[in-house]
Amino acid sequence: MTEAFHTTLQGPDVPVPGDLVVARNRKYDGTAHWVVPGRHLGTDEHGHWIFQGTHEFIARPGAALYTESDAIFLIPHTGDWVATFFDDGHPNGVELYIDLALDLQWHRIRPSVIEFHMIDMDLDVVRTKGRGLFVDDRDEFAQHTVKFSYPQELCTRMETATGALTEAVAAGHAPFDGRDAAWFTLGRTLQPA
């Protein structure tokens, strides 16, 4: 595994506000997973904030759809995760969806288009209106641990990160303290009328 994304990354492969960011996720064995476009809004001490608007086309092998709500995607400066904050329009009442992830990388493909790559590590920390806060896809993580031969130290690392994220969300620690609202406001002002 390569090292996770760090704040020391600089240069042409780091996004700037206004860039189209295409998030390309894959699984540990390299198979394709979700592809989701968005617009880079800015960076703060927590990471890069990306607006993913309603009616965007997203896809993964075997599934494709148009989004039904606005979302803010946070790519942290450090850590084994990415977070998606959803607005009240999410059809299933999802408010927050944190994917445990590895190998977070930027790759500029055109002057104002950048790809974000990550390895999705199955485990998710989720908060919904109906169910509250929970960890999802433990069964998938267990299956893939065997199928893809996850090293034990990687499993421990993912479980530790899952626990820490669950605690941070439950306690309302930044960046899970409502600061996404300002990014939603900014993202919506940049949407075409």
The pLDDT confidence band at residue 192, using thresholds 50, 70 and 90, is: low
Nearest to 38 by CA among 99, 114, 103: 114
The pLDDT confidence band at residue 13, using thresholds 50, 70 and 90, is: confident
Within 13 Å of residue 83, how many CA atoms lie on the same side as its CB?
A: 28
Judged against a pLDDT cut of 60, whether residue 7 lies above it is answered with no
Q: Which residue intervals of the chain are DSSP H helices?
A: 138-147, 152-171, 180-189
Judged against a pLDDT cut of 70, whether residue 193 lies above it is answered with no
Judged against a pLDDT cut of 80, whether residue 144 lies above it is answered with yes
> In a 3-state reduction of DSSP, which class is residue 51?
strand
pLDDT of 4: 40
Model pLDDT for residues 41-53, shown as the tens digit of each residue: 999 999 999 999 9
* C-alpha dist (Å) from residue 36 to 2, 50, 69, 84: 23, 11, 13, 11
Pairing outcome for strands 81-86 and 71-76:
antiparallel
Model pLDDT for residues 60-91, shown as the tens digit of each residue: 999 999 999 999 999 999 999 999 999 999 99
pLDDT of 1: 36
Kindly state the average pLDDT of the residues 84-112. Answer: 95
pTM for the structure as a whole: 0.92
Nearest to 1 by CA among 179, 114, 149: 149
* More confident position, 97 or 5: 97
Judged against a pLDDT cut of 80, whether residue 126 lies above it is answered with yes
pLDDT of 3: 40
Judged against a pLDDT cut of 70, whether residue 12 lies above it is answered with no
List Cβ neighbours of 168 (8 Å cut-off, separation of 6 or more): 176
pLDDT of 190: 81
